[in-house]
Amino acid sequence: MTTHAAPRPVGGRLFTLPVALLSLFVAIAFYYIGVRFYYGIGAVTNLNPGYPWGIWIVVDVIIGTAVGCGGFAMALLTYIFNRGQYHPLMRPALLGALFGYTLAGMAVMVDLVRYWQFYNLLLPWYGNPNSIMFEVALCVMAYTLVLWIEFSPAFLERFAHWRGMDAVRRALDKAMFVIIALGVLLPTMHQSSLGSILLVTKAKLSPLWWTELLPLLFVLSAVAMGYAVVMFEATLVRRAFRTPSELPLLASISRVMMWLIAAFLLLRLLPVVLGGHSALAFTASRDSLMFWLETGAFGAAIALLSSDARRRSERTVFLAGCAALAGGSLYRLNSWLIAYQGTAGWSYFPSVPELMVTIGMVCLEILLYLVFVKSLPVLIQPVPRRNVNA
C-alpha cells in the first residue's frame, strides 16, 4: 500500500510528437474560427434556415459537457454518498470536467451570432426566468467557475513556495465544502435542463425521443457518462503514464454506472412503449437505425459489466466505459439533431470546416490535459519520479 500516495506532476517533456499533431489540428480549427468571425457563421458551417443548430452546439456543448461530468459524478459518490476511498480519482476527473466545460463555453461563444452582447445574460432586465436556456447559461457559467476553484488546489500546491499561497490554501480549505456542494447542485440543474430545452420541440422531435421525462433522462445519462469517462480516462492514463492501477475502484464505479444505465433505459423505453410509439423503432428509417445504435451501445455497456468477474478486468471496464460514452453521446446527438425534423425542405450535415473546428476542440482538450498532468499535481503517484515519457 502506498499510504503516502499523493498527486504529483508526471513531468517529462511537454512538446512531444502527439502534442505537435494535436497542435496542428487546433491550429486548423482556429483558422476556421477566424473565418467564421470575419465572414459570418454561414461561411464555415452548413447551418441553414431549417437547421439553426449544428455540431458546434450538439457535439461541442451538449456532448462535451456530458463527457465533462466526471467531476460531478465522482463528487456525488465521494462527498454525497461519503465514499472517501474514491479520492484518488477525483482530481483527474475534475481536470477532465474543467476542460469539458471551459471549451464548451468557448464553443458557445463561437456559435453565438450576437456574441458581443453575451453579457446581456447577466443583466437582470434582460433575463427571462421562464427560459430554460437562461437557466442553463447561468448554471454553466457558474459551474465552470466552480470547477476552476475546485481544481485550484492543484495550482496552489504547485506554487506552494510562493508567498501567501499557504494563506489562500487554508481559506480555500475552509470554504471548499460549499464549493463542492455547488459543484453537485449546478450540474444536476443544467444537465437536466439540457433535456428540458427539447420539451418545446415536440412538433419537431421524433416521439422515440420526446417525453416529459427528458430532464430526468438527461441528468441520469450525464452521471452515467461521468462514471464512464472516469473509467475511460483512468485506464488510458495508467497505460500512458504507468501510474498505479485503480482497478478495484473502477470496478465498483462500473457497477454504479451499470445500474444507472439500467434505470435510464427503463425510463427511456417506458414512455415509448406506453405512448404507443414502439412501432416507430421497427420502421426502416434513419431514426430507427439511430435508436437501435444508441440503445445497443447502452445495452452493450450493461452486458459487459454484468458479472463481478467481468468488472475485475481492466479491458472490460474500459470497453464498457467506451460503450456508455457512445450510448450517451448518441442519445444527445439523436435527440438534439438527428431525430429533430427541421423545417420541411431543409436538411443538415456538417461541412468539413465545421467538423475541423469540432475536431480541433477535442484535440485542444486532450492537449491541455496532457500539459496539465505533466506539470501539475493531478495524478496519484507512489513515489516522486523524475522523468516519464508519454
Partner 1 sequence: MSMNRREFLKRSLGGAAAGATAAGDAQAFSLARPDKQLPPQALGMLYDSTVCVGCKACVSACKQANGQPAAMPAELARWNEGTWDSAQDLDGRTLNVIKAFVDGTREVKDREKDGFAFVKRHCLHCVDPSCVSVCPVSAMKKDPKTGVVTYNKDACIGCRYCSYGCPFGVPQFDLTVPFGRINKCEMCSHLLAKGGIPACCDVCPTGASLFGPVAALQEEAEARLAAKAGSRYEFPRGSLTEKRPRYEGVVAQYADGVYGVKDGGGTQVRYLAAVSFEKLGLPKLPEHSFAAIAEGVQHTIYKGFIAPLALFGGLVVLVWRAVRRAPHDPGRSDPSHGSRPS
Site for partner 1 in 320-359 (CB under 8 A): 342-346
Q: Is 127 in the site for partner 1 (CB under 8 A)?
A: yes
Residue with Cβ nearer partner 1 (7 or 360): 7
Q: How far is the CB of 315 from partner 1 (least distance, A)?
A: 26
Q: Is 7 in the site for partner 1 (CB under 8 A)?
A: yes
Q: Categorise residue 82: left if φ over 0, alpha if ψ from -120 to 50, beta otherwise.
A: left
Q: Is 1 in the site for partner 1 (CB under 8 A)?
A: no
Phi, psi of 8 (to 5 degrees): -140, 155
Q: Which range binds partner 1 by CB under 8 A, 77-85, 298-306, 352-360, 364-372?
A: 77-85
Q: How far is the CB of 142 from partner 1 (least distance, A)?
A: 12
286 and 252 in contact (C-beta within 8 Å)? Answer: no
Q: How far is the CB of 309 from partner 1 (least distance, A)?
A: 28
Q: Which helix (H) or strand (E) holds 7?
A: strand 6-8
Q: Map the footprint of partner 1 across residues 130-149, applying CB under 8 A.
A: 130-135, 137
DSSP labels for 212-256? TTHHHHHHHHHHHHHHHHHHHHHHHHHHHH-PPP-HHHHHHHHHH
In angstroms and rounded to an integer, the radius of gyration of the C-alpha atoms of the chain is: 21
Q: Is 375 in the site for partner 1 (CB under 8 A)?
A: no
Q: Which range binds partner 1 by CB under 8 A, 82-90, 286-294, 327-335, 348-356?
A: 82-90
Q: How far apart are CA 90 and CA 226, in angstroms?
A: 12
Q: Which range binds partner 1 by CB under 8 A, 16-24, 177-185, 312-320, 322-330?
A: 177-185
Q: How far apart are CA 241 and CA 251, in angstroms?
A: 20
Query: Angle, nearest 10°, between helix axes 17-39 and 352-375?
Result: 130
Q: Is 160 in the site for partner 1 (CB under 8 A)?
A: yes
Q: Is 153 in the site for partner 1 (CB under 8 A)?
A: yes
The pattern of x and - marking residues 192 through 211 that bind partner 1 according to CB under 8 A reads xx--xx-xxxxxx------x
Q: Is 49 in the site for partner 1 (CB under 8 A)?
A: yes
